[in-house]
Amino acid sequence: MTQTTPKTARRRGRIFPELTLSPEELARRKAEDEQFYQRCWTIFQKLLPEFIKDHYGWYIAIEPNSGDYFIDQNKEVASKKAREKHPNVIHFLFGINETGVTGRI
């Protein structure tokens, strides 16, 4: 009769453990993201009544540092317009509707 050798359990972990972020760094990044979103959201709320009548269902890309915004029926085109004017700056994309959501579930 042959005996099988017991297999050792594989140790699972991160592929690159040196790239793990500390909880403090994660919290800092989350706070920065929330602050960025809130700056964009206030601009969006100011512009929404102006555009919701004629551009319902379109997209608006907002760059909060300058207050510039770019609208188009296609979200890729709106983002492209924002990147052309501000190439090294992050922008936020909203849908021109009651909630500002751009996608579907």
In the sheet that holds 68-72, the strands lie side by side as: 68-72, 59-63, 92-95
The amino acid that residue 89 corresponds to is: V
Contacts of 97 (CB under 8 A, 6+ apart): 52, 56, 57
What are the tens digits of pLDDT across the range 7-34? 777 777 778 878 888 999 999 999 999 9
pTM of the model: 0.76
Residue 9 pLDDT: 75
Q: What is the pLDDT of residues 47-76, one digit of tens each?
A: 999 999 999 999 999 999 999 999 999 999
Distance of CA 59 to the CA centre of its chain: 14
Cβ(59)–Cβ(102) below 8 Å? yes
